[in-house]
Structure 1
Amino acid sequence: MRLKYSSSTILQLLLLQLLLYSNLLSYVVADEHNHKYQDHDEVVAWMNTVGSIYNRQETYPYFKLPFCRGTSQVEHRHETLGEALQGMDLVNSGISIRYLQPIEHQVICKTTLNPQDIETFKQAISQQYWFTMFIDDLPINAPIGISNLDQDGTDVTYPLHLHKAFTVEYNDDRIISVSLDQQEPMNLNELSTPELSFTYSVTWKPTSILFQDRFDRLLETKFFEHKVHWLSICSSFMMVLFLTGMVSIILLRTVKRDFSRYDREEEGLDDFERDLGDEGYGWKQVHGDVFRQPPHLMLMSAFIGSGSQLVVMGLVMIMYIIKSQSYSERASIMSASIALYTLTAVVSGYSSTKFYATYGGKDWVRNVILTAIIIPVAAGCVGGYINTLAIYYSSSRAVPFMALFSVIVLWFLVVFPLTILGAIIARRWGGYNGSVAGEFPCRINPIPRPIPEKLWYQEPLAIAALGGILPFGSIFIEMYFIFTSFWTYKIYYVYGFMLLIFVILLVVSSCVAIVSTYFLLNSEDHRWHWVSFMSCASTSLYIYLYATYYYFTKTKMTGAFQTSFYFGYTGLLCLGMFCMLGFVGHSAGHWFVKKIYQNVKID
């Protein structure tokens, strides 16, 4: 049964989606401040979270520690969807800062610590807790205190800093940088009185640095622009040259030689089907089976649809970050990613339905549903488990109910309808004529040809497993920089490198898929669909293995929450890479197969 859609209904759906897009994009570009100040204007110091320096994702609200807070009319800052999903908990510190007004040792607040409060502070200091805060959207990180042994090497001291000295650099009416120097450490083991006074001072200094360059001082150029980083780009580029050369040899020499050999052996014969009966060999022998419907067609269609969406999203997202430098804006990358994922849902619906229909799929409704839910359901399962742990640990990473509700509504009202829209476009205007035979250059035999025995390295499983090594090798070094940035306090900003590596990864994956497909077909095995897909998608397995190695050798993460967060969201990353690279590999393999078999087509 075919669904009917009136033009007015489609127009109403499009208007509703455009309205939702405009609201969603306001999350990306909206900001409470224009970053311009006049004399005596209030500059709010927002306290964010506290947590161990080694467990960056296991964070807690700043005032979960027994800090006191100054008086303030503004309690909580309005959060964007990206900030809510990233566990940011911005609360006004109560530190009164006025633009260009210096302050000398003013009291923030006073508090009386009971034995439990003192023990809480000691535990935070011993676990090397750091806090994060923002002033004019500039991040500030500092330790609660650094415990150490006293002079005779016996007792441990727990210094709690009571004074915050801010140094603010400004240019005209804009804040350029904010630095924090913590002073007046008080050893909690030697408290003479449980009453403590927390104080602060503010010093203003002019600077000639422009506002658009103010974030540069926070970027670690020595780390991200190291010679090793440049060397990895060069090595990946050389790998691309090698693989493209190999593919060129296959296309221009090997396949051409095969055609010449077949032509010599079959000279003077007209019937293609008769000629290849029992005397042919190689890839031409399986011409009647290469375009057979692959097993688990619906699942493969869903993977291909999701992968095509992620490829488009990845390219556009990287270019957007390069142009807007959104890494300098808090949680803007997360918000923009959500917006872009919803907008590209039409790509997944189109690609999945086009592939599914091309190979004779009939139940397109179930295919669309599977395509629309395969990534969100995985993200929901992993995110739900981690969110449950966050609630149990009272972590700031616990996503608020309204944020979860917004994501669910966004999927129902935007992502799913756009996926259906893409499917409708593919069925009606995607070039599919309803005849599977008309899509391919060779006729499909009614009975599959038996697959001959072959060496172990020619088996589909071996080809798929070995194929993922080269794409992983092209991104191996870049993975280190990305992991180090995400799991520590370094800000990743070299998105030009990322764009180049991303393109190299796509090219390498395409070449690997073509080579793998040729090797498989040349061994007279027609099961190329999943091989071309998995030979590139298996790269995600190597990424996960590398992530496991990185966790145990490069980090000092501990605890059930941080471990679950690390391996859970790394698994989601690998699932995305699985779909994305699998789509690229199968697309390259499909192009290669149609290219070589169209030259032996019989009208």
Structure 2
Amino acid sequence: MKPLNPSFIFLLSLTVVSSSLGFYLPGLAPVSFCEQNSKGDIQLFVNRLDSVESVLPYEYDAFDFCKDTDENRPSENLGQVLFGERIETSPYKFSFKADKACVKVCTKSYDTGSREDKLKLDFLKKGMELNYQHHWIVDNMPVTWCYIVEDNQKVCNPGFPIGCLVNQEGKPKDACVINADFNKKNTYYVFNHVDITIHYHSGDETNGMHARLVAATLEPRSIKHSNDENPTCEETPMDIPADFKSNLKVTYTYSVTFKVRGLLDGITFCIMNSLVIVLFLSGMVAMIMLRTLHKDIARYNQMDQEEAQEESGWKQVHGDVFRPPRMGMLLSIFLGQGTQVFIMTFITLFLACLGFLSPANRGALMTCAVVLWVLLGTSAGYVSARLYKTFGGENWKTNVLLTAFLCPGIVFVDFFLMNLILWVEGSSAAVPFGTLVAILALWFGISVPLTFVGAYFGFKKPGIEPPVQTNQIPRQIPQQSFFTKPVPGIIMGGILPFGCIFIQLFFILNSIWSHQMYYMFGFLFLVFIILVITCSEATVLLCYFHLCAEDYHWWWRSFLTSGFTAVYLFHHPLLWLHLDHGAHFLHFYRYYGLLLLLLVCK
């Protein structure tokens, strides 16, 4: 083998150093614009359309809107496909700091004699009736629509409706309430014009700092253009009667304005409020546990010294406390899968805190989570096999197969059935068949073999030896009070951990349903750590109370006490969706049902 050329090593080193200097940690480098640069074009992207009154999102091309002649879809990663992101280029294009007024995009014509035109117009009307929302993106930022509501409060929404409806009683629905000119009964009003405002930071070109876009807002309007070739954007609203009896033309236009603005407006969240609640709940559980343990240990020590009373409480069950649980194989499988999910969650949040999974890099969070879960099959197999051997189990083949296929199989069947419904309805949220095949390949080709490897090493090691010998005859459990019975204890055990994440869960749900970027990963990681501590403290505390009541069946109870937090997590979005007219139920069942199953498999 020939030695490497020193000049080649030097050039390679320079390449590595230069690449590291150009590395941008948060995920995607911001785009800089220069007035003298001829490449100052700004591309507006469109995403899927959804509605709070419907569970099915649709692609931009599903509606009869203006399309880009050079349509190009940016490459999508696994996370974007799983979350139903459908980003594509749009015909709305403009240059940096080049204001434009009433620019025509295209004209859509509908002929009463054409069945295809009737279907297109009916689908557009249905979208306006269900208040479907556009979601546009400029420089990887959502284009927001800000409007004034009661008490002169300003509300901003990261999407805007395609139109609105005034029903047969003359009552305006949804966005029709913002304009008094929308007053015709049984009439649709399409928003065919948008006033776009691009906010940018001017920078300092003398120091090499170019301008950067910091925000994008728009105001949708409905305009009936009298002259389709030279629109003025000052006419009456574009009304579409409910009955399609005459030919119709809809001209789409836009205006764009650039404004100087500071780098970022401050966004205030109730972080301190949430942090106080989290720390208070965790501190309360820790204080109760420490005071109770200290008091009982002091009392038992005093009884030992006096030797005046018979042993009672948890001392009497020391010979039964390590008795193998019922359905030990199922418990070991759940604990193995839970270890896999826990490590995956920890690493994902940690990388997100460092900035590697920036929300600007769409789909990176989900892609990272899926890849990590696949690669962590070894931990699931090892933990499951080791615990099953500790319980004295002998059906090691069944244990390995169930560890590899039970929980992931339930999740995949649930996901596939929901995806099948979306396929039938033609929704953009349906995952393509090729992606499903890729997921199966990752599961069977990587995760399952790694699970077998972990189980092999787990069964090779001896089981965990209990510190005390187990009695041959099980001790009879005395009559339990209401609070020490299994079901009430498990239900109460999940309340405190759920209280720790309640405020943070509000921000997460609000970001998901409102298509906003969630970037408080540092605080989320802190809440995750405190959640783990609180679950541990609540489980230890309740198990201690049960042992004091001479109930030694603690294995499943300790698992379900903190695991019941997942049940509260499951029902909280149901309440959220009920208050939001029951929308997004299908997506909730896909993603939060998946999350619940993963947490239960903990």
Q: Render the CA deviation track for 1:343-383: whole Å, top value 9, x for unaligned.
A: 33333223222222222223333323322333322221221
**Counterpart among 91, 100, 105 of residue 108 in structure 1:** 105
1: CA distance, partners of 2:121 / 2:562: 55
* 2:440 corresponding residue in structure 1: 408
The AA in structure 2 aligned to 1:155 is K
* Cα shift readout 1:54-104 (whole Å, capped 9, x = no counterpart): 54x5210112111132411x4333211111111122232233445565555
Q: 1:552 aligns with which of 554, 578, 581?
A: 578
Could you tell me which amino acid in structure 2 is paired with residue 133 of structure 1? W
- From 192, 205, 214, give the equivalent of 1:162: 192
Q: Does structure 1 residue 387 correspond to structure 2 residue 419? A: yes
Which deviations, in whole Å up to 9, do the C-alpha atoms of 1:10-61 show, x marking residues without a partner? xxxxxxxxxxxxxxxxxxx999998456523654332221221454x52101
Give, in whole Å, the separation in 1 of the partners of 2:573 and 2:92: 41
Q: Please tell me whether residue 504 in structure 1 is matched to residue 530 in structure 2.
A: yes
Given that 2:163 and 2:190 are in contact with CA atoms closer than 8 Å, whether structure 1 keeps it comes out as yes
In the aligned structure 1, how far is the partner of 2:441 from the partner of 2:132? 37
Given the alignment of the two structures, is residue 247 of structure 1 paired with residue 289 of structure 2, yes or no? yes
CA contact (8 A) 1:118 1:188 kept: no
Does the Cα contact within 8 Å between 1:386 and 1:564 map onto a contact in 2?
yes
- Aligned partner letter, 1:144: I
Higher mean alpha-carbon deviation, 377-386 vs 180-189, is at: 180-189
Alignment match, 2:321: 290
Q: C-alpha distance in 2, partners of 1:85/1:320?
A: 20
CA displacement, residues 282-322 of structure 1 (integer Å, 9 cap, x when unaligned): 21212221111111111111111122222222222222222
Distance 1:244 1:32 in 2: 42
Tell me by how many angstroms 1:198 deviates.
2.4
Residue equivalent to 1:188: 239
**Alignment correspondent of 1:123:** 126
Distance 1:152 1:384 in 2: 43
Partner of 2:352: 321
- Give the CA deviation at 1:176: 3.7
CA–CA separation in structure 2 for the residues paired with 1:489 and 1:34: 21
CA deviation profile, 1:500-531 (whole Å, cap 9, x unmatched): 32222212211111121112212222111111
- The aligned counterpart of 2:588 is 566
- Which residue of 355, 358, 362 maps to 1:330? 362
2:502 aligned partner: 476
Q: Is the 8 A contact 1:131 1:144 kept in 2?
A: yes
* d(CA) in 1 for partners of 2:319, 2:555: 15
Code of the residue aligned with 1:518 in structure 2: it is: Y
* Superposition deviation, residue 169 in structure 1: 4.2
Quick check: 1:539–1:578 contact (8 Å CA) kept in 2? no
Within 2, Cα distance between the matches of 1:402 and 1:51?
Answer: 24
Picking from 303, 306, 309, the partner of 2:334 is 303
CA contact (8 A) 2:182 2:189 kept: no
Q: Name the amino acid aligned to 1:424.
A: Y
- Kept in 2: contact 1:39–1:100 (CA 8 A): no
Contact kept in structure 1, 2:196 and 2:217, CA below 8 Å: yes
Distance 1:412 1:102 in 2: 55
- Are the aligned partners of 1:382 and 1:569 in contact in 2 as well (CA < 8 Å)? no
Distance 1:314 1:233 in 2: 20
* CA distance in structure 2 between the partners assigned to 1:536 and 1:251 by the alignment: 20
C-alpha spacing 1:152/1:110, structure 2 compared with 1 (3 Å) = closer
Is the deviation greater in 526-535 or in 112-121?
112-121
Once residues 390 and 498 of structure 2 are traced to their aligned partners in structure 1, the CA distance between those partners, rounded to angstroms, is 31
Please state whether the residue corresponding to 2:518 is helix, strand or coil: coil
- Which amino acid in 2 is paired with 1:261? M
Note if contact 2:543-2:558 (Cα within 8 Å) is conserved in structure 1.
yes
1:171-225 Cα deviation digits (max 9, x unpaired) = 526544333343453323379962333233444456563xxxxxx55x8x34xx1
CA separation of 1:304 and 1:93: change in aligned 2, threshold 3 A:
same
Gaps of 5+ in 1: 1-28, 210-215, 268-278, 581-603
- Spell out the pairing of 1:327-476 with structure 2 (5 A cutoff): 327-428=359-460, 432-434=461-463, 439-476=465-502
Aligned partner of residue 59 in structure 1, secondary structure = coil
8 Å contact from structure 1 (residues 346, 420) kept in 2? yes
Q: Secondary structure of the residue that 1:327 maps to in structure 2? A: coil
Instruction: Please report how far the alpha carbon of residue 408 of structure 1 lies from its aligned counterpart in structure 2 after TM superposition.
Output: 0.9
Aligned equivalents of 2:257, 2:247: Cα separation in 1: 30
1:306 aligned partner, one-letter code? Q
In the alignment of these two chains, the number of paired residues is 518
Give the residue type in structure 2 aligned to 1:125: M
TM-score (norm 2): 0.78
Are residue 59 (structure 1) and residue 84 (structure 2) matched? no
Change (3 A) 1:32 1:106: farther
- Residues 130-209 of structure 1: matches in 2 within 5 Å? 130-140=133-143, 141-148=159-166, 149=172, 155-170=185-200, 172=210, 174-183=212-221, 185-186=223-224, 187-189=238-240, 194-205=248-259, 209=263
User: How far apart are 1:238 and its partner, in Å?
Assistant: 1.6
Q: Deviations over 1:113-134 (max 9, x none)?
A: 2352333323222221111122
Structure 1 pair 380–168 and aligned structure 2 pair: CA distance change class (3 A): same
* TM-score (normalised: structure 1): 0.77
Residue pair 1:305, 1:371 contacting (<8 A) in 2 also: yes
Aligned to 1:231: 273
Conserved 8 A contact 1:40-1:101:
no
CA distance in 1, matches of 2:249, 2:485: 74
Distance 1:377 1:166, change over 3 A: same
Shift, 1:244, TM fit = 1.0
Give the counterpart letter for 1:454 in structure 2.
Q
Query: C-alpha distance in 1, partners of 2:454/2:297?
Result: 36
Deviation readout 1:551-582 (Å, 9 max, x if unpaired): 222x1234xxx3233245333322333344xx
Bigger mean CA offset, 291-300 vs 136-145:
136-145
Aligned to 2:148: none
Q: CA deviation at 1:399?
A: 0.4
Relative to structure 1, the CA distance from residue 485 to residue 204 in structure 2 (aligned partners, 3 Å threshold; closer, same or farther) is: closer
What CA distance in whole angstroms lies between the structure 2 residues aligned with 1:67 and 1:309?
A: 45
Q: SS of the counterpart of 2:49?
A: strand
- 1:157 CA drift (Å): 4.2
Which of 63-72 and 150-159 deviates more? 150-159
Mapped to 2, the partners of 1:183 and 1:473 lie a distance apart of 43
TM superposition shift of 1:396 = 0.3
The 2-side partners of 1:289 and 1:524 are apart by 10
How has the CA–CA distance of structure 1 residues 109 and 70 changed in structure 2, closer, same or farther, with 3 Å as cutoff? farther
More helix by share: 1
Give me the whole-angstrom Cα distance separating, in 1, the residues matched to 2:68 and 2:532: 53
